[in-house]
Structure 1
Amino acid sequence: MRPYIIIFSTMTIDGRIASKDHYSELSCPYDKMRLHIVRSEVDAVLVGSNTVKIDNPKLTLKYAKGKNPIRVTITTSLDIDLNSNIFITPPLTIVYTSYSTFIKKKNTINQLETKGVLVRPLENLSSCEIAKDLYELGIRKLLIEGGGRTIWNFIKDNCYDELRITISPKIFGNGVSVVNGEGFKGSEAPNLELVDYKLCECKKEVHLIYRRL
């Protein structure tokens, strides 16, 4: 068993979530509100450790009311800033890492646990195994916010249910792709069902909702 998983991202017309110099401010105020409403409806929100490093998000509610979701991140190395926002502000944060790193980085783990962070070592750090473990911890609805590599891993493993994409009226030409991995062969690429679409209230963006078939 695993949680119901929603992937939410805002990208440029050419499918980038960040430019070559890491600029990633793409969302209008209405899009931010959309994202935070989804945050308020899930039990946990997950981002990769690179997103924590570059963006230093709090992953809490600002543009919607409700209970802050549990924060989750994944790091094979545990080379993370212990003063990142997800470690110094409530609510709970869960960090997934490998067994070998868990054994080697006891000092880092002790510091995280002192901050109230839950460190979960897994033999297999695949998206599906992490999702299964989160389900065992009581997470029934999970939001994936990025970055591109994390989104790729969940899509590659077929470990998601919805993909919600906002298209921003920008073109970067280079940078980080919304699904940033080695890619599928054309014949193996997944097809998704378009279940909803809307012109954003700002009249400049389009929001699309796809469901995994």
Structure 2
Amino acid sequence: MRPYIIIFSTVSIDGRLASKTGYSELSCPYDKQRQHELRSRVDAVMVGANTVRVDNPSLTVKYAKEKRNPIRVVVSGSFNLDPSYKIFTTPPLTIIYTSNLKNDKKIEVFNQKGVLVKKFTNIYDIFQDLYEAFNVRTVMVEGGGHLIWTLIKNKLYDEIRITISPKIFGNGVNLAQGEGFNGEDAPKLNLIDAKICECGNEIHLIYKQN
């Protein structure tokens, strides 16, 4: 068993999460509120390690009416993470899933901060563990591109919610940053909803798997 998985991202017109310099400020205030409203309704929010290193997010709820913070999950194969990042220094619970558990001293530092460090061998293990050990039934995945690609490649998602921001980067981090599909193998999703953002300059799309 696994949780219901929602990928949520805001991208440029050309499908980039960030520019070649790492700039990723794409959301208008209404989009941020939409993001945080969903964040407040899920059981866990997940990001890849590079998102933590580049953006240093807290992943708490700020712009929603209900200030309910989900469990935060960081996926890091290398365990190259600094314990001083915001996500490790503020509540609520944070879990790091890594395939590298060789640095016992670093694990102890995280444990002293109340951060759990757990081993995974494949991406399926993470969602099964969240479901069984932490009673997580819904997960919101907010990036980055490599993590999102892994989930899409392995069909480990139920919805993709995308906001199209009126910018063009021309280069940078793709929504799904990976080796890519052959054209005939690319998944074709079902469009569930499309609406113009309240700002009048963005579009929010909701897709589901076939």
In structure 2, runs of 5+ residues without a counterpart are none
Task: Show the counterpart of 1:195.
Answer: 192
How far does residue 125 in structure 1 lie from its aligned partner after superposition?
A: 2.8
Separation (CA, whole Å) in 2 of partners of 1:145 and 1:76: 17
SS in 2 for 1:194: strand
> Are 1:121 and 2:119 counterparts?
yes
**Identity over aligned pairs, percent:** 59
Q: Give the Cα separation in 1 of the matches to 2:78 and 2:147.
A: 15
Say which SS state the counterpart of residue 8 (structure 2) adopts. strand
Q: Deviations over 1:115-173 (max 9, x none)?
A: 00111112x132x2211111112100000000011100111110000000000000000
Q: Deviations over 1:42-100 (max 9, x none)?
A: 000000000000000000000012310110001112111110011000000000011xx
How do residues 10-29 of structure 1 correspond to structure 2 at under 5 angstroms? 10-29=10-29
Q: Does 1:180 align with 2:181?
A: no
SS at match of 2:60: coil
CA distance in 2, matches of 1:125, 1:21: 30
Q: Do the aligned residues in 2 keep the contact of 1:6 with 1:162 (CA within 8 Å)?
A: yes
State the SS of the aligned residue for 1:203.
coil
Number of residue pairs aligned between Structure 1 and Structure 2: 208
Give the TM-score normalised by the residue count of structure 2. 0.97
Please tell me the root mean square deviation across aligned C-alpha atoms, in Å.
0.7
Counterpart of 2:153 in structure 1 is: 156
Q: Distance between the aligned counterparts of 2:125 and 2:105, measured in 1?
A: 25
The equivalences for 1:134-149 within 5 A come to 134-136=130-132, 137-149=134-146
Correspondence for 1:47: 47
Runs of 4+ with >4 A deviation: none
Q: Is the 8 A contact 1:78 1:108 kept in 2?
A: no
Q: Which moved more, 1:67-76 or 1:128-137?
A: 128-137
Q: CA deviation at 1:210?
A: 0.2
| Normalised TM-score (structure 1) | 0.96
2:169 maps to 1:168: no
